[in-house]
Copies of this chain bind each other. A is one copy, B any other.
Amino acid sequence: MSVHFSRAELVTLTAAAATTVLAAVAAHSGVGDVWAFVAAAAALSLLAATVGAATEHLGNRLGPGATGMLQAAFGNLPELLICLFSLKAGLVDVVRSAIVGAVLANSLLVLGLAIVVGGLKHGTQRFPSDSPRMVATLMMLAVSALTVPTLAHVLHTPAQAHEQALSATCALVLLVVFVSSIPFSLSANPAVCPPDPGAEVHERAWPIAQALVVLGAAGVAAALASEWFVDALLPATKSMGLSTGFTGLVIVAIAGNAVENVVGIRLAAQNKPDYAMSVILNSSLQVALALTPVLVLASFFIGPTPLTLVLPPLLVAVLGLTALVTMLVVVDGESIWLEGVALIGLYVMIAAAFFWG
């Protein structure tokens, strides 16, 4: 097997391996929770970048349709692993705020930064709005899937006694809609799933075997790093004086999405607002439409506490506001930097509401 790595890829791989070793040492050496937490977060980010590169090379070999599938499957791997280990540890509240936080971080903070950066560099940016509108519709559906069980619970309706069954029903509906949406990704429709823009850079795709080996190794390492991350999460944030809600909503969400975030903002800076919107909004959507129901259904088999879709009402409310404001910003196919400032402002206000524990 002949191995092909560009120099940049070698640097990423080496850094990912090194930080993983470092995180392993930090997790087991009693160096202190904060250090263990930071090391695990750093390892996760670099491993996510590695998984992303391997997915992309595999996609280049298998065609654009497969790329969409692979991106959907592996794009949110770090979040998935962190949430699964949190479920196993019974940290259901962390999972709930991490899910909402991932959507907020993508749809407000990252989208806002992308619009501000893109707007300051290139003025008003235009992009086709068909795909963002579809994403906004599906996102509103996903928000409804969280609103209905929460309201049924908060308002003490009879369905309250059937919280798990109602959550499972909503989760299944979301999965059906997600599966129905795959043909849109598989069709080479660039508005819905753009050909990965990074593809231009890597001219020599990895051989399939090499991509699979890297994917497997990075996946295993990411699983280990996720476990260390979750183990250190509560003690570390406690010693930093952060509330649990803020930890899940802000810290976990940003750590788990670090890579997509940078990619989306870089695309906007390169004046490719359509790709930027697609990467950022689809990341939010995959969390809401695929990751959430998978975690709900998985929680019935792993972990001490089942995960239901009954969220703290404030989380549901801010999610609804986020879906609305995002929709307003992207639906017109134009992004103006002031809209980005408004999105970031909303993120700051929401984060502030969860800052006090």
Contacts and interface: CB of A to CB of B under 8 A. Distances in A.
Interface of A: 130, 133-134, 136-138, 140-141, 144-145, 147-149, 151-152, 155, 157-159, 161-162, 165-166, 169-170, 173-174, 176-177, 180-181, 184, 243, 245, 312-314, 317-318, 321, 324-325, 327-329, 332, 334, 336, 338-339, 341-342, 345-346, 348-350, 352-357
A318 B150 CA distance: 12
A355 to B, nearest CB: 7
Given A141-B342, A144-B321, A345-B176, A170 B352 contact: yes
- 4 nearest interchain CB pairs? A173-B345, A169-B352, A141-B342, A162-B356
A275 B57 CA distance: 48
Contact of A325 (B141, B173, B356): B141
B161 A356 contact: yes
A158 B243 contact: yes
A339 B329 CA distance: 20
Given A144-B346, A345-B141, A180 B338 contact: yes
Contacts of A342: 137-138, 141, 177
A51 to B, nearest CB: 28
Nearest to A336: B134
Given A314-B151, A328-B137, A177 B345 contact: yes
13 contacts: A133-B328, A138-B342, A140-B325, A147-B317, A148-B350, A148-B353, A151-B317, A155-B312, A155-B313, A157-B314, A173-B345, A173-B346, A173-B348
A157 B352 contact: no
**Residues of A contacting B: mostly:** helix
The number of times this chain is found in the oligomer is 3
A165 B329 CA distance: 28
A341 B180 contact: yes
Given A140-B328, A173-B349, A184-B338, A314 B356 contact: no
Given A342-B138, A356-B161, A348 B151 contact: no
A144 B325 contact: yes
B356 A177 contact: no
Contacts of A357: 158
Nearest to A179: B341
Contacts of A136: 328
Contacts of A159: 352-356
Contacts of A166: 352-353, 356
Contacts of A325: 137, 140-141, 144
A118 to B, nearest CB: 16
A140 B324 contact: yes
Contact of A346 (B141, B312, B356): B141
A133 B148 CA distance: 26
Nearest to A350: B148
